[in-house]
A and B are shown apart, each in its own frame.
Chain A
Amino acid sequence: MATVTMARALNSALREALRADDDVLVFGEDVGPLGGVFRITDGLTREFGQERCFDTPLAEAGIVGVAVGLCMGGFRPVVEMQFDAFGYPAFEQIASHVAKTRNRTRGRLSLPMVIRVPFGGGIGGVEHHSDSSEAYYAHTPGLKVVTPATVEDAYWLLRDAVDDPDPVVFMEPKRLYWSRGEVSTARGSVEPLGRAVVRRAGRDVTVVAYGPAVPVALEAAREAARGGVELEVVDLRSLVPFDDATVVASVRRTGRCVVVQEAQGFAGVGAEVAARVQERCFHSLAAPVLRVAGFDVPYPPPAVERAHLPSVRRILGAVSRLQFDDEPDLTHGVAGVVS
């Protein structure tokens, strides 16, 4: 099977969704003939016409608000927020309507829409182009929040999101757009939306990560293994609904847990994960749950973003502080020296 980029997989998912259901519409800023600034909608207007994939005025609240009305009229809109930080003007629509409409109509009106948000840093973006905004959405009852870390997940989670009866905020890790992988187009080849998966099994420490942090966690696991420490990497995939079962089962096996996120740490998704793990696994834990996260600063400029992003070294550092009897020190370089 040939490998494709995550960007291509997302593009294929949209194409197949448009083919599968005439009511699916794709719209946003520059998503038409240009194919989006990241080319995720490349060729869709050519194939499906302006009626199905179209450019809108530059107005994020309007884009999401119009999508609400289209849902009421029986359509399934997939809208693009051009960048994470440019989704903020739409936040009132998302928090007050997209998230609440099913509830405030007692289930009579559902909003099967997808809001795609390219998010996160690591691409050398100038200010306002690298925010991790997932916690705002995950904190809002009524929204599903999903983020793929693999190419195959990008394809299938997006297909699942389009088919979902509820609104899904689909967070696309920008810096993984050009990562490559295989995609099986047989349905059921990956876990459905709502489940976490164990990306790598390991007996010593559970590392919980999502989106752009997953490849970093996997790299850390490879390093740690060289030092004789086995990390189990859980990829959350879906922040809402949250898959407690998979996380809890893993932590009960390993007895230790590190949570990794690229977003600033304070009041973030990682804090929620840590709290849930303590509540459910306290008697299995041999050490406090530690977090590896971005600093509580506005996302930094390209020149210093490396200092901000969770790294293999920081993950290994956290692992070494998990109160092992033999105190492994994984911090001395990426090569991973274990005493």
Chain B
Amino acid sequence: MSFQALRQTVDRLLPSSDPVRYVAEDGTPLPVPDDGGIPADAVLLDAFRRMVVGRRFDAQATVLTRQGRLAVYPSSRGQEACQIGAVLALREEDWLFPTYRDSMALFARGLDPLELLTLLRGEWHCGYDPMAWRTAPQCTPLATQAPHAVGLAEALRRRGRGGVVLVLVGDGGTSEGDFHEALNFAGVLGAPVVFLVQNNRYAISVPLERQSAAPALAFRGVGCGVPSEQVDGNDLVATLAVVSAAVERARAGRGPSLVEAHTYRVEPHTNADDAARYRDEEEVARWRAADPVVRLERYLRHRGLLTDREVEDARQEAERVAEALRAGLSGPLAGDPLELFSHVFAEPTPQLVEQRAWLAAELAAWDGDGGAGGDSDGVEEEGRSGWRR
């Protein structure tokens, strides 16, 4: 390859030097690149409604952890624009691969708020049907979902009936080997997959500077031949436009892309984290001021698309969702210990059949005990109350 040709290839792969931005922080529209159309008004209004409702849902979930109704909740606060903007770029036939952080993305996908919290309530399964929703279970082992997304994208390519895959990864997740392996596979296979890196500047306590020396995480794509872009992830309009372009490129058979969305995790890592140990309040305050929901509201009002009425409607819907969440999470989890054996294999092994029978007998003995502890045998007593505890 001549130097000239190489230069052109690299230019095609490299992200813009600054994150793409369509809307200034105060809500005023910025000049838009020729090739990047502004999403339709109706889509933007729908996005705004989802962001308002999602924000309320997120706050409610954090409160519910304090009451012990959720085992844990990693907040999406501050990341509504990049999660919702990215998911709205998808069609029903497309697939989404979310992480534990991505409740807003799942909500935008249309999943029931209560159902999408199943894992975070402390269940062993994800609740929703991944095949029906074309949405993988939320992934916790960092970046391990990325090769799955590539495999599924490759499957869609082979079937030839359309469909694109969007996979979400955090800034910390990009340091994992699986992320690189996935990116590299995607490049080699030409799979219709879009990697969205939500760079919220922290991996639990570890800041971005300790994660990577790259000029931007978007540069990770270049080495794998995957075209990359960076976008202001608190700008819904830009995120939706940039991810849509990547998704449509994949749909047209032009292969994978990587988008880095610059954003910020406003809340601690989860309800169990103490962020004061590693970042100062000033920094958080700066980012609170750069709120993506406020920015979109200002923009839509600026363009005369949004009135008080729509804002009020969205708020009311948000309260209804929060209310439903409180009601839905008021009872304890109804787990059946015997179901533990049901889904390990299509057909339980003889060992699982045996162990299930053993546990069933033990549970029956506990039930027979009537909970009154009428047995005088101290050891037995200990065993039975052990189950109830």
Contacts and interface: CB of A to CB of B under 8 A. Distances in A.
Most buried by B among A62, A96, A142: A62
Contact of A62 (B126, B129, B147, B342): B147
A57 B181 contact: yes
A244 B137 CA distance: 35
29 contacts: A57-B184, A59-B184, A62-B178, A62-B182, A64-B147, A65-B150, A72-B152, A72-B155, A73-B152, A73-B159, A92-B141, A92-B178, A96-B141, A97-B148, A101-B137, A102-B345, A103-B124, A103-B343, A104-B125, A104-B126, A105-B130, A105-B343, A106-B342, A106-B343, A107-B342, A108-B129, A110-B346, A194-B349, A241-B349
Interface of B: 124-126, 129-131, 136-137, 141, 144, 146-156, 158-159, 177-178, 181-182, 184-185, 188, 342-346, 349-351
A228 interface: no
Nearest to B138: A104
B157 to A, nearest CB: 9
Contacts of B346: 102, 107, 110, 165-166
B210 to A, nearest CB: 22
Interface in A44-85: 51, 56-57, 59, 61-62, 64-75
A102 B125 CA distance: 9
Nearest to A141: B344
Contacts of B129: 105, 108
A77 B321 CA distance: 42
A103 B154 contact: no
B354 to A, nearest CB: 8
Interface in A155-199: 165-166, 194
B125 A105 contact: yes
Contacts of B130: 72, 105, 108-109
A70 B343 contact: no
A53 to B, nearest CB: 14
B125 A244 contact: no
* B144, B149, B345, B349, most chain A CB atoms within 10 A: B345
A61 B184 CA distance: 12
How many chain A residues sit at the interface, stated as a range, is: 35 or more
B252 to A, nearest CB: 20
B151 A65 contact: yes
Interface string A106-135: 111110000000000000000000000000
A7 interface: no
B343 A62 contact: no
Contacts of B148: 65-66, 68-69, 72, 97
A240 interface: yes
A87 to B, nearest CB: 14
Interface of A: 51, 56-57, 59, 61-62, 64-75, 89, 92-93, 96-97, 101-110, 141-142, 144, 165-166, 194, 240-245
A76 B146 CA distance: 19
Instruction: Tell me the interface secondary structure of chain B in the complex.
Output: helix
A92 B343 CA distance: 20
B24 to A, nearest CB: 39
A66 B150 contact: yes
Contact of B152 (A57, A61, A69, A141): A69
B188 A241 contact: no
Q: 3 shortest A-B CB distances, which residue pairs?
A: A69-B151, A73-B155, A65-B147
Contacts of B159: 73-74
A105 to B, nearest CB: 6
Given A66-B148, A97-B144, A102-B346, 20 more contacts: A57-B185, A61-B177, A65-B144, A65-B178, A66-B182, A67-B151, A68-B147, A69-B152, A72-B148, A74-B159, A75-B155, A97-B141, A104-B126, A104-B137, A105-B343, A107-B346, A142-B344, A241-B349, A242-B350, A243-B350
A222 B181 CA distance: 50
B345 A59 contact: no
A104 B124 contact: yes
Contacts of A244: 350-351
Contacts of A59: 177, 181, 184-185
A241 B354 CA distance: 12
A55 to B, nearest CB: 10
A142 B148 CA distance: 18
Contacts of A241: 345, 349-351
A67 B149 CA distance: 10
Which of B184, B188, B343, B350 has the most CB atoms of chain A within a 10 A radius of its CB?
A: B343
B358 to A, nearest CB: 12
A56 B185 contact: yes
